[in-house]
Chain A
Amino acid sequence: MPPSICLRRLSLAPSDLTAHAMASRSLLAYTQTTSFSHSASLSAKPGQGKPAGPARGERTLNLGKNKKVQRDMGKRPAPGERKALRKRVVLSNTNALVVEGLNDLTVSNIETGDMQGQVVGLSEPVIDQLRAVEAFKATQGWYLFRRPAMLMRKETAQLSALMGDVEAQKKTVRRILVGDRASGKSTLLLQGLAMAFMRKWVVINFPDAKDIVSAHTEYAPLPGSNPLQYTQNAYTANLLAQIAKANSAVLSTIVPSTDLRLPIPTTRKTTLADLAVLGSKNPELSWPIFNALWTELTQPGRPPIILAVDGLAHIMTPSAYLSAEAKPIHAHDLVVVRHFIDHLSGKSVLPNGGMVLAATSGSNQPASPALKFSVQLAEARAQGATDLPMWNPYELVDQRVMEVLTDVDTLKLHGLDKQDSRTIMEYYAASGMLRKQVDEPLVSHWWTLAGNGNIGELEKGSVKMRA
């Protein structure tokens, strides 16, 4: 029996069918371009299968032996309420003391490096921008202190120096942030984003790579892509909204210089910020608009760009999405991920200079042996090792990941030294969250217990777990 759906689709062949050289492949591609879903609620026909059971709260006759007492649970939380609570980021603790003499991070003190080894605050506009790109995480200890502040550590200085290089030489810096669990990778990423905002860069942040690949947003094959790629309209629209909100100061000053050729009318006054907003409001057009925005941003004379992702391991494995053949789609086949990976691998460069940062996660990472190996290799390379590690040829490896990460460098986060530990602990004490005299024995005690100065463990031990 011939597949009726395919034949029906054939009769509706598109006009651009002839444009493709290989008609048979295009046909195949087209048949897959229809939006589809494998979620259960849509695939099941109504009126078939088991009844869903009585509605909640409805009284039913229950004659069974194991009668369960139906208790009134009260009002259940509304859809999304619990998730919102879980994702809620609290950036202030009104019970914490105001720290006297806490300076804000500014462009000037970033460049001079005066703030090296000191705790600095973040100014309100930057906090708003960072919030817009979801750079703050609920698991970080922002809720403990009066206002967001952070330690300018050695790695921050390195990052700052790299940013200076980018601005001076218009080069693309690509780094994977690696380090122990709770060593401050996400916070360093946040520091990078904050500095980029202050330097008037365009910031595009993927706050959690897991959201891209966990199959919680809709997806569709990208028409005409070979090999087949997939767009995620809802995710891209949200991303555009974040870009528009966070970078409005920069993007609202830039007017498109090229013919965008968008399937939506734009006026002459449309700035890039408007364009991003337009994309966020039309999810079906979000990917073409993102592309148009990217084309505009890479024109000569535009500001540098910082691309950042947290939780890199998630996009280095097959995603949770399924293809039409019910095979897992590799994360690299998602256009959003593809776009990021091309820049991380160096396949695409940022013509106006910029930075591609990818932070690994110590607590939420799927197994990605290729990523792990690539990081080891990069570290060995950085140390100038003569015998570089070799992949065991008898083990299967995700070749796509290996190729992508061939020459990416790492930025390794080590533990703080005793001086930095003392500085941050004095900040804890000044905030009233550590009620002890910060002296040499106390600092060395927590420094050792925190695994040679791991900053997350230092905070956990001295502030969060205090009796």
Chain B
Amino acid sequence: MSGGELPKSLLRAFASLGGFPRSQLRSIPSSRRGLNQSTPKYFSTGAIRRAETIDEVPRSNIAAPPISFSEDAQDIQKAEEQAQKLLKRLRVVPASASYFSAKPEATDDFVTLDTLLRKYSTLPVVPAGHAPRVAWKGLHHYKVKVNEPIGPARYARIVAILHRLNHIHPALMPEEVTTAMARFKRDINPHDIKPRPSVIDEWGRSKGVGRRKTSSAVAWLVEGEGEVLINGQTLAQKFGRLHDRESAVWALKSTQRLDKYNIFGLVKGGGVTGQAEAMALAVAKALLVQEPALKPALRRAGVVTRDPRKVERKKPGRIKARKMPTWVKR
């Protein structure tokens, strides 16, 4: 924004106000102290935010002051002169603290949330980890929204405040905070999506699905004597290595239930080891349906969490994922 633009628009503003008493004009400087003023005083260059926050017609859209037909040109001129005099005494302070910043939106958001936090910091909170799980917008989404180049560290500070606000006791959660937080929530909260709990079917079978690398396995567990059939083959036929055989039934082995259940498995994709370890996860999931109390034991056995590691992709300009071509002098 150029320097000459502000006085001009202010002049126009005063001109449109007409003969307002001085006391009303005085109230403008006081706006720098309070953010919660009822009159809209935010000025911002941010394109999106402006439309959201200012509920009146944006003044920048007004090309010229409204024409007053009742008064003559002399009165207008007098008012302009008065305004000129006034401007010599007044120091115009923008309502937003980030007015002179290149990235006002993000700063405004931070300030707003910080203010909210200070305002409601005395409200009781739930213990850590007991707040409703919320997926906040990611940095990328936020960047797109505010259209400003904000870094991860600054966004992390915003998220930290949001996290704290989210811990306010739900029964006492102020409406103001809820609406403020809503702006930062993802459109769909993935934590709200709960998988249907698996049940033991009429035949006494429980099903589990496991994955590892590019293999994917489905296992059905039924009470039995420890028979295993994977893709129609016995464990020894399916997995030549003893290690892989142990991996596949590790969930049962580690909980001393190898002779209590029969396993029927289907596994596809990937290699031998991947298939065996996918089977381990699938069997553990199926076992959890039969005996949910085994979850801590299975977690200690390492068959609850999916191993997310996969083959790293090859990149252009490299021979493999990371290997660089051999250096050649010329």
Contact = CB atoms under 8 A, between A and B. Distances in A.
Interface of A: 180-182, 415, 418, 440-441, 444-445, 447-452, 454, 457, 461, 465
B179 to A, nearest CB: 58
Interface in B235-283: 235-237, 242, 245-246, 249, 253, 256, 258-259
4 tightest Cβ-Cβ pairs between the two chains A and B = A451-B236, A451-B234, A444-B259, A448-B226
Contact of B235 (A440, A452, A465): A452
B225 interface: yes
Contacts of A447: 226, 259
Contacts of B225: 418, 444
A451 B241 CA distance: 12
Contacts of B221: none
Nearest to B234: A451
A452 B259 CA distance: 11
Interface of B: 225-228, 234-237, 242, 245-246, 249, 253, 256, 258-259
A452 B249 contact: no
Nearest to A415: B234
A448 B235 contact: yes
Nearest to B229: A452
Nearest to A444: B259
B242 A452 contact: no
A447 B224 CA distance: 13
A244 B73 CA distance: 141
Nearest to B225: A418
B253 A445 contact: yes
Contact of B258 (A181, A182, A445, A452): A445
A441 B253 CA distance: 10
Nearest to A181: B237
A216 B320 CA distance: 49
A180 B246 contact: no
Contacts of B242: 449, 461, 465
Contacts of A440: 259
Nearest to B263: A448
B223 to A, nearest CB: 14
A419 to B, nearest CB: 12
Contact of B259 (A180, A415, A441, A457): A441
Contacts of A418: 225
Given A181-B237, A445-B258, 9 more contacts: A180-B237, A181-B236, A440-B259, A444-B259, A449-B235, A449-B246, A451-B234, A451-B236, A452-B235
Nearest to A417: B225
A449 B245 contact: yes
A441 B256 contact: yes
A31 B82 CA distance: 136
A451 B228 CA distance: 7
Which of B225, B226, B228 neighbours the largest number of chain A CB atoms within 10 Å of its CB?
B226
A361 to B, nearest CB: 15
13 contacts: A181-B236, A181-B237, A441-B256, A444-B225, A447-B259, A448-B226, A448-B235, A450-B235, A451-B235, A451-B237, A452-B234, A452-B235, A461-B242
A449 B236 contact: yes
A182 B240 CA distance: 12
Contact of A448 (B237, B249, B256): B249
Contacts, number: 50
A320 B198 CA distance: 58
B226 to A, nearest CB: 4
Nearest to B236: A451
A465 B236 CA distance: 15
B277 to A, nearest CB: 16
Given A415-B234, A454-B234, A449 B249 contact: yes
A154 to B, nearest CB: 17
Contacts of B256: 441
A418 B226 CA distance: 10
B236 A454 contact: yes
Contacts of A448: 226-228, 235, 249, 258-259
B219 to A, nearest CB: 14
B235 to A, nearest CB: 5
A180 B234 CA distance: 9
A174 to B, nearest CB: 27
Contacts of B226: 444, 447-448
- B234, B245, B246 interface centre (most CB from chain A within 10 Å): B234
A461 B249 CA distance: 15
Nearest to A458: B236
Contacts of B246: 449
A445 B225 CA distance: 11
A452 to B, nearest CB: 5
A444 B258 contact: yes
Contacts of A180: 234, 236-237
- Residue of A441, A444, A452 most packed against chain B (CB within 10 A): A452
A440 B246 CA distance: 18
A415 B253 CA distance: 20
Contacts of A181: 236-237
Contacts of B236: 180-182, 449-452, 454, 457
Nearest to A440: B259
Nearest to B226: A448
A448 B235 CA distance: 7
- Residue with the greatest number of chain B CB neighbours at <10 A, chosen from A445, A448, A449, A454: A448
B225, B236, B237, B246 pick with most chain A CB within 10 angstroms? B236
A182 B234 CA distance: 13
Contacts of B234: 180, 415, 451-452, 454
Nearest to B252: A448
A459 B227 CA distance: 18
Residue with the highest number of chain B CB atoms closer than 10 Å, among A180, A445, A450: A445
A293 B236 CA distance: 45
B177 to A, nearest CB: 56
A454 B242 CA distance: 13
Nearest to A457: B236
A279 B254 CA distance: 63
Contacts of B235: 448-452
Contacts of B245: 449
A463 to B, nearest CB: 13
A165 B249 CA distance: 44
B263 to A, nearest CB: 9
Contacts of A465: 242
A452 B228 contact: yes
A131 B249 CA distance: 41
Contacts of A451: 228, 234-237
Contacts of A461: 242
